[in-house]
Amino acid sequence: MVSGDGSLSRPRRGDLARHWILDPETCFLNHGSFGATPVSVLEEQSRLRNLIESDPVRFFERDYIPLMKGAVGKLSEFINADPEGLVFVKNTTEGVNTVLRSLDLKPGDEIIVTNHSYQACWNAVDFVTERSDAKTVVVDIPFRVKNEAEVVDLIMDKVTGKTVLAMIDTVTSATGLRMPFEKLVRDIQGVGVDVLLDAAHGPGIVPLDLIAMDVAYCTGNCHKWICTPKGSAFLHIREDRKSLVRPLSISHGHSFEGTDQEKFEYEFGWPGTQDPTAWLCIPHAIKFLGSLLDGGWQEIMDHNRALAIQGRKILCGALGTSPPVPDSMVSSIAAVEMPGEGDVGPMNLEGDPYHNFLLDEFGIQVPVFPWRHHNKRYIRISAQLYNHVEEYEFLADCLSRSL
């Protein structure tokens, strides 16, 4: 915040920030990349780890399966999924790979992605199409769109008799677009093409009803907007597609003799020795976060969305631009173009130089994404319960001073 003498003072956080251990010196506006886990959920993870280490053999022989099934049940209720089709994976990238690498693609088959798709998942599509002489079809969608219908029309125009799958985001990553995914699933599957829904930004940011959507495949993260520890995600497969999909890691389940359902659960549920506590924290995280506002999860999503829309307006003011998409296409993240044209390099792990500058100079953690598919750089804000509107004002002040 700018004081009377023109100096900057740290912006305040939201009251609920006391439940997180975020560095008080950082203005943390990037919940979207990796989430952030509240203390209560971290304590639950420690409790579970202690339970494992008190007798690892007893835990895996006796406790693990019932706990895991309990977590599957709670998450299924939360996203209205069929618990018999829901399994855990480490992250959405793994979920996407699991589906794609199980497909029996033929030369000439087409898989649709958009030029807003998450690059890692798009890469996985390219990997499977290239090895089978199939084709990745990229739908060009501009950053600035007028409405949902424009997006639906652009995607539907690319669906042909050769399309075997369309990978659709719930909310896009670098461009922060809340996609009309419910309509897209209906329309695409309505012409006989399966959808793989990338719900990395899914549970806890947009309402999900997988049974009503009847989507063939959906994978998404709990470690983003349900705030579980990292490494907790799900893959939901519709009943009629379950026999087609095998886990990336073939393990004991392959030779397991039992019903098809038992084998499916064993194959995905026992990937080998690993720490399952991030998955097992899902029930606690859903309950704990949901208790922080009287209106539960619906109020959390509404609150975060309203804050993101407010933050975007402040950001647009500082950048001298207008909101790029209607409010209806904003969830709890929102992106705006950075000024300037020119060559944009690929994204890398070190981060864009301006992102690094904002962190080093002002202690602001906000992503700046070079997006070469639009030849633009986007700055993306997130809104979570620990944020306060002053943090977006602080970002705007710092942008005005430094651009």
Ligand X SMILES: Cc1ncc(COP(=O)(O)O)c(C=O)c1O
Applying CB under 6 A, which residues contact ligand X? 33, 91-93, 118, 120-121, 169, 172-173, 198, 200-201, 221
For ligand X, the closer CB: 198 or 337: 198
Residue (163 or 173) nearer to ligand X, CB: 173
Residue listed under structure tokens 């998955």:
279
Label each residue of 340-398 as H, E or C.
CCCCCCCCCCCCCHHHHHHHHHHCEECCEEEECCCCEEEEEEECCCCCCHHHHHHHHHH
Residue 198 CB, nearest approach to ligand X (Å): 5
- How far CA 99 is from CA of 1, 95, 218, in Å, comes to 47, 7, 9
Which is closer to ligand X, CB of 30 or CB of 314? 30
Smallest separation (angstroms) from ligand X to the CB of 403: 26
* 128 or 398: CB nearest ligand X: 128
d(CA 69, CA 283): 11
CA atoms within 13 A on the CB side of 96: 28
CB of 336 to ligand X, least distance (A): 17
Nearer to ligand X (CB atom), residue 226 or residue 314: 226
* Shortest distance (Å) from residue 24 CB to ligand X: 25
SS3 89: strand
Strand-pairing partners, residue 381, are: 334
**123: region left, alpha or beta (phi > 0 left; psi from -120 to 50 alpha):** alpha
Are 216 and 194 contacting, i.e. CB atoms less than 8 angstroms apart?
yes
- Minimum Å gap between C-beta 122 and ligand X is 9
| Residue 381 dihedral angles phi and psi, to the nearest 5° | -100, 155
Taking the complex as a whole, how short is the minimal distance between the CB of residue 6 and ligand X, in angstroms?
37
Q: Give which of 244, 5, 224 is closest to 103, Cα–Cα.
A: 244
Q: How far is the CB of 219 from ligand X (least distance, A)?
A: 8
Give the nearer residue to ligand X in terms of CB position, either 96 or 396. Answer: 96
Taking the complex as a whole, the smallest distance from the CB of residue 151 to ligand X amounts, in Å, to 15
Rounded least distance, CB 175 to ligand X, Å: 10
Q: What pairing do the DSSP bridges indicate for beta strands 27-28 and 364-365? A: parallel
H helix count then E strand count, the chain: 15, 12
Q: How far apart are the first and last CA of the chain?
A: 17
How many CB atoms sit inside 10 A of residue 124's CB?
22
Q: Which lies closer to ligand X via its Cβ, residue 16 or residue 333? A: 333
Q: Which is nearer to ligand X, 33 or 356 (CB)?
A: 33
Q: Which is nearer to ligand X, 118 or 270 (CB)?
A: 118
Instruction: Dig out the tokens for 7 from the structure.
Output: 């100096």
